[in-house]
Structure formats: C-alpha cells, structure tokens
Structure 1
C-alpha cells in the first residue's frame, strides 16, 4: 500500500485528523485522476449495496460533507445516481479538484466507518483496517 493509500485510510479511521490529512493529500500534489480513482474504488468497496451504491451511510456522508451544500461536487452527488455522479465528478474542471477530493475523502471516511462498525466489527482481515 503506497503512502497516499495509507494516508487515506488513516484519515478514514480517525488516526489522522480529517483537515490535516486532507491538507497533506492536497499538498503532495497527487495526480488528481489517480487520487480520484483510489477514492472512488474505496467508496464503492465500502458501500454494502453494490446494486445501486445508495446506502444510508452513503446518504449520510453526502449530507454531512464539510463544504457548502451548493458546491458543484455535492450538487452533482445529490442530483444524479451514484455511478453517473462519479463520472460527472471525474470530468469537472481542475478548479473543482480540491472540493471534489474533500467530498470523496469525507464520503469514504463515513462509509468506511460504517463498514468497520458493522461488517468488520468482529474482525475482517482487511489489512488496511489494521493500520497503526
């Protein structure tokens, strides 16, 4: 697991403050497409219902994103089905990258917390849930 993925998982598991972790991710000048793809995959894997990716935790995550609800990424996520919304997020202009990363990182934090508290509560074998 590379540093970016370790950082994302530490943020999701509250082993690193969200705002600090987000700044570290953004400062590293990560390739946006690579970061986006990683976060998308993590989110899709953390949501229990793979049919439509619309769990209660996912909706709660969207409703609690620490950004203005009128920001483009949030409006897209609330307007379109999940897979269509993610396709639209991937094609937003570069000036939306920071808001998009913030949005996706928050969604993963919430959905993965839900997974750790339910499916993984008694142990799961996911090596990323064993980060120190």
Structure 2
C-alpha cells in the first residue's frame, strides 16, 4: 500500500480531528465513531490513535478522567488500553498495541478525551474560547 501524500495526510488528520471532536461533544455517538474507525486501514487506525492520544494529552487528562472515560467506553477496565490510560501518568503508546486492540484503544481514548475536554470547555473556555474545535456546528450526518 502506498503512503498517502502530505496533502492527503493533512486532509485525513483534519477529518479525524473533526470526527473525534464531534464524538467528544455528543454530536455523534461513540458507536458511529467506532464504525468509521473500524473501516480504516490499519495504518490509518494507528494515525488516528496517535492523534487522539495527542488530544488527550493536550486536554491534560487526569487519572479520574481515565477511570470515568473507561467506564463510558464499554471496554473492560482490565483491557490493555484501559490500564494504560488510568496509569499515573497515563501511557500513550496506543498505536503500538496489536491491531486486535485498536478498536478498544479508540473507544477508550475518545471516551477519556471527551471527559477531559468537556471539563476544560466548562471550566477554562466557557464563554471565552476561540478554539474552533470547541465551537462545532451541530452534525447533520454520521461520520
């Protein structure tokens, strides 16, 4: 499989960013996001996992966010991605997990990101936020 061009890579990352933020803000369901993610090639799944781990880091997730996100994710607390995200500090090597764990990792990462990002939007950005990803229009279709 050929590597995507840099323009294709940027377009894909923007699409992934939009979808993940729409899920985090409740504009799409986690299951719809998982369906989108599951249809991606393994290399794109790894890219998405790296991106979402970066979003989680930028949202300054806490161990409490990790536990709350795991509870929302539908993934067992003993699964590798759940254990990794609940460590203090969290471990972020999700893209290095075996492909069979990628969907679980996506569910956990997006759920934890949703918890942390919601907290930050409510406490830090309420009424003063200029982040484009915090001001998404209502979604009209599934990812």
Count of paired positions: 124
| Structure 2 stretches lacking a partner, 5+ long | 1-12, 138-143
Matching residue of 1:122: 127
Cα-to-partner distance string for 1:13-69 (whole Å, 9 max, x where unaligned): 11112211221232243612210111011111112xxxxx53643443245432112
Q: What value does the CA root-mean-square deviation take over the aligned residues?
A: 2.1
Matching residue of 1:44: 57
> Moved runs in structure 1, 4+ residues, more than 6 A?
none
Q: Does 1:11 align with 2:41?
A: no
Per the TM alignment, residue 80 of structure 1 is displaced from its structure 2 partner at its CA by 5.6
TM-score, length-normalised on structure 1?
Answer: 0.80
Cα-to-partner distance string for 1:99-126 (whole Å, 9 max, x where unaligned): 1111111111111111111111123100
Per the TM alignment, residue 81 of structure 1 is displaced from its structure 2 partner at its CA by 2.6
